[in-house]
Structures are given as C-alpha cells and as structure tokens.
Amino acid sequence: MQKTITIKTNCHNGLFDITRQVEDIIQDSSIKNGLAAIYAQGATAAIMIQENWDDSVQTDVVNLLKKLIPTGVWLHDRQDGNGDAHLKAGIIGPSETIPIINGKPGLSTWQNIFFCEFDGPREVRKIVVTIVSSDP
C-alpha cells in the first residue's frame, strides 16, 4: 500500500510533525506487522525521527544545521541560492523506515516523525508513505 501526505510549510527551515498522518495511513492499511517507509519528495527536504516532548529539540536541530551549513557560501548558490538546503537535506536523508507492530508505528514514547523543510516556505510538500506487510 502507498499513500501520499501533502503539507504546507510556513518557514524557511523547520521540522513539521507528520506522525499522526503516518499513523492514520498505517491504520487504514490494516497491516498488523511490517514496515512503513516514509520518503520526502524534493531535493531540499528530509525525514527525521526525533524527540516529540517539546519544540526545543527541533529548534536545536535547525540551529545546529544552520551553524554547520551556512547560507550563501556554496557553489550551487550561483544557480538558485539554496545550496545550503540541498546539503542539509543530503545529510539528514530523504527517508526513514519504521517497524509496524500490532498495527501501530514502532516508535518509542518520545519519538515522532518529522518532515524537515530546508527551502521553504512551500505551498505543497509531498511525503510518500509505503506500507509493507511481514505477515504471511
């Protein structure tokens, strides 16, 4: 089974919690045990599993990446000014795969699934969720 989540982002760099949407897709699939692959379409976006307790960790992730990968100093900036976004997305990576256990995402208490925006804001961002069963 495969479905696409569509979101709108409201900032240049930010993490957006998509856990609820992924949970809904898993529930709709009726698969009890297997894998959920979550993939961000776009070369300037990524997917990350991160703490969900408060926004400080997400803010720290964004601030760390801004320090490690500053804007305006990359060769690609000559093309369209977003060289940093491509590098951030490449380091974090476009996907995560999580287990499905008893029909639910196999996340710990403090984990959520985040779409990482590095070149926003954007009216449309797409995340493809692929569900695969391990049940016979």
The model's pLDDT over 38-69, given as tens digits with 9 standing for 90+, comes to 999 999 999 999 998 889 999 999 999 999 99
> How many domains in the chain?
1
Predicted confidence at residue 136, as pLDDT, reads: 80
Where are the strands (E) in the chain, listed by range?
Answer: 2-7, 14-17, 34-40, 45-51, 95-101, 104-105, 111-117, 125-133
Q: Alpha-carbon distance 14 to 62, whole Å? A: 6
The model's pLDDT over 97-132, given as tens digits with 9 standing for 90+, comes to 999 999 999 999 999 999 999 999 999 999 999 999
Q: What is the extent of the structural domain holding 29?
A: 2-133
Give bridge partners of residue 45 from the DSSP assignment.
117
The answer to pTM > 0.75 is: yes
- As a 3-state breakdown, the chain gives helix, strand, coil percent values, each rounded to 5, of 30, 35, 35
Residues 84-105, mean pLDDT to the nearest whole number: 98
The domain that holds 19 is classified in CATH as: 2.60.120.460
Predicted confidence at residue 135, as pLDDT, reads: 86
The residue among 37, 38, 42, 44 whose CA lies nearest residue 89 is 44
For residues 57, 59, 60, 61, the Cα torsion angle rounded to the nearest 10 degrees is 90
DSSP label of 131 = E
The residue among 119, 133, 111 whose CA lies nearest residue 1 is 133
State the average pLDDT for the chain: 97
Report the percentage of the chain scoring pLDDT > 90.
96
Output the six-digit token pair for 86.
Answer: 């491509």
